[in-house]
A and B are shown apart, each in its own frame.
Chain A
Amino acid sequence: MAVAPYATPIERAWHYIFRAICALVLLFLIAPILVIMPLSFNSEPYFTYPLPAFSLRWYEDFFTSDRWQIALKNSIFVACATTALATALGTVAALGLSRANLPLRGLIMGLLISPMVVPVVITAVGLYFFYSSVGLNNSYIGLILAHTALATPFVVITVTATLTGFDTSLMRASASLGAPPATTFFKVIMPLILPGVISGALFAFVTSFDEVVVVLFLASPEQRTLPKQMFSGIREQISPTITAAATLLILFSVIMLTTVELLRRRSERLRGIRG
């Protein structure tokens, strides 16, 4: 988008003003993340610049204190279980949703997506009542089931997106060559939709890993996760260990983002879509 040679001086000026506005918006988007990372290396427990000295003490605290380590372990455990369950359920459902002859598709899709749209507090309140009547409050199973319900829409959406434009004649070709449905699924369909499935799984993992409202309602201190630990940390007294945890989580997001982006490109290449 270079300035056109016939542009008037006003257009020229606007061109640069416009770029400056965009730069400010990008700065707004990225600044909080850039500001918090260096603060985690502060040697003093303050949140101001300039930093008096460089130190890793908050990282040491994060990796040695029981509170943070239990929270980290719980988060990883719940997120892994959620990912496995949500990916299995979501992928199979997406295969069904992409078939042309599914009855009531709109209604089913709306229902399957709804956990993503309904405010989490409502889900949490509903589950709180429901779990107290079946005895699942303060249990890992209850937490995993709740997170799975919240995470499946992401798997359904990503895998369904991968399946649009899926060439169904490949399945027929495989069947006509004598492959049973299971072989067709694992040898023909799966390799093609795998990037979408992995993206969906990563979304599911992140959904569970970041989720805090359901944990606040349904989990006992024993099941506290990283976000809950951060939440109570901010509420009570904000310790710089939170900035260390936040920095680690940002690094984690960078890895996730890169993986999903690479997978998306691979998927588009596999399906012959030029980006």
Chain B
Amino acid sequence: MTTAITAPTIVRTADGVPLKAKLQRVERVRRLRAFALVAPLLLFIVVTFVVPITTMLYRSVDNPELAANLPRTAVALKGWHGQGLPDEAVFAALAADLAEAHANKTAALIGKRLNYEIPGTRSKIIATARKIAEVEQGPYKDVLVKIDPTWAARETWAVLARTVRPVTSFYLLSAIDMRLDADNQLTRIPSSDGGIFLGVFWRTLVISVTVTSATLVLAFPLAYLLASLPTRMSNLLMILVLLPFWTALLVRTTAWVVLLQTEGVVNDALLWLGVVDKPLQLIFSRFGTIVAMTHIQLPFTLLPIYSVMKTISPSHVRAARSLGAGPFYAFWRVYFPQTVPGIAAGCLLTFILALGYYITPALVGGPTDQMISYFAAYYISEELNWGMASALGVVLLTATILLFLLYSRLVGIDKVKLG
């Protein structure tokens, strides 16, 4: 063994490998082992959660309908720069594509997609496709304009040129009430014309902020009481907080539906007490939505505040009092600042969860209390407009991820607690 003579400064293990390299190797193996334990779940989450959501994100810009069904028009329109009407070659390409679409029965699909951009186009496309299929020869420009004057409008062609591309900004822009006009300029969609989404986002924000504030106002005193009572007593009262927390969301929502009905328990009690003369409209209202959501979210806000308050030593306030601070001053300057991390954690969690509410507003709220999630679900199940549903999902997901990052920065992911 010559190791000690040739390299006296390098410490080696029994098998002659430098200790540093050996330690690195061991460390690498350990890292791999740790990763191997996490790998199955990571793979599972990526396949069943991350990939589906990423594909959904792509659908908000995906625009396959026209690119697939109007291939000749797509090629021909590349030469058109948006000035005046396109030339005869483009009209001929469109005529050929539409005739083929009529034969393949895909004209309705093209019509549906163009109808999003120019309302009322659907029937025009189907009719044009049916009629053009019988035309033997051109000039197609005159034939098409004769079938429907919409083909003489530059706007139609501007929209067509934009919509035959395989990627579109249409859905994402619509989700923020914007659209491109014939000159590719951004314009606001007026609310009379379906520009409702900024209003929906605002409403989602207002409801979430109201619910978060309401849970804070209710949770703070209760958390304070629970944290200052003797353990036996506070454990007992804690059951009253945890029982709703463990009860199914739908059970609690059902309970609120039953309570708030026009013929329900709350109205009966109010009538009996003589507070009101006739039943109040409590269900299908903003009030009902906020009450039910506050009830469901209250434990989420309360538990982090409670666990922070548990760690605050009562001697701090006593010291402040003995130094001459009044009861409110001692609370406000000494106790309250120490609870801020808990308030931040609880409120942020409630706010994040409130943004995505769907079931409770759908059952307890009225038509004007529905939040973003409702519209995403609506475009999937009622309108079959996947692009629009995805675009709304993108906005909601972006807001959620940003808030979650804020949460992990402020609170730490490890601090997420249950019960």
Given A96-B34, A209-B248: A128 in contact with B397 (beta carbons within 8 A): no
Q: List 30 A–B pairs whose Cβ atoms lie within 8 Å, in order of A's numbering.
A: A1-B229, A25-B222, A25-B298, A30-B244, A33-B247, A89-B40, A93-B38, A99-B34, A101-B27, A101-B30, A108-B42, A111-B42, A112-B38, A114-B49, A117-B352, A119-B358, A120-B373, A121-B393, A122-B373, A122-B400, A125-B389, A129-B59, A145-B48, A154-B418, A206-B246, A212-B359, A213-B359, A217-B381, A243-B258, A246-B255
A182 within 8 A of B: no
The interface residues of chain B lying within 8 Å CB-to-CB of A33 are 243-244, 247, 251-252, 255
Partner among A14, A96, A112, A125 whose Cβ is within 8 Å of the Cβ of B393: A125
Q: Are A113 and B228 in contact (CB under 8 A)?
A: no
Q: Are A126 and B44 in contact (CB under 8 A)?
A: no
Best-surrounded residue of A22, A46, A157 (most CB of chain B within 10 A): A22
The interface residues of chain A lying within 8 Å CB-to-CB of B246 are 206, 253-254, 256-257, 260
Q: Are B35 and A102 in contact (CB under 8 A)?
A: yes
A77 within 8 A of B: no
Q: Are A32 and B49 in contact (CB under 8 A)?
A: no
Q: Chain B interface secondary structure, helix, strand, loop or mixed?
A: helix
The interface residues of chain B lying within 8 Å CB-to-CB of A29 are 240-241, 244, 295, 298-299
The interface residues of chain A lying within 8 Å CB-to-CB of B381 are 217
Partner among A92, A109, A261 whose Cβ is within 8 Å of the Cβ of B40: A92
Q: Are B259 and A32 in contact (CB under 8 A)?
A: yes
Q: Are B400 and A119 in contact (CB under 8 A)?
A: yes
Q: Are B45 and A18 in contact (CB under 8 A)?
A: no
Given A32-B255, A118-B400, A125-B389: A102 in contact with B34 (beta carbons within 8 A): yes
The interface residues of chain B lying within 8 Å CB-to-CB of A92 are 37-38, 40-41
Q: Which of A59-67, A171-179, A228-236 lies at the binding interface?
A: A228-236
Question: How long is the Cα–Cα vector from A231 to B250 in the complex, in angstroms?
Answer: 7
Min CB gap B399→A, angstroms: 9
Counting from the closest, the 7 A-B pairs by CB-CB distance are A119-B356, A96-B37, A32-B255, A130-B52, A126-B52, A96-B38, A93-B41
Partner among B231, B243, B359 whose Cβ is within 8 Å of the Cβ of A30: B243
Question: How long is the Cα–Cα vector from A216 to B244 in the complex, in angstroms?
Answer: 23
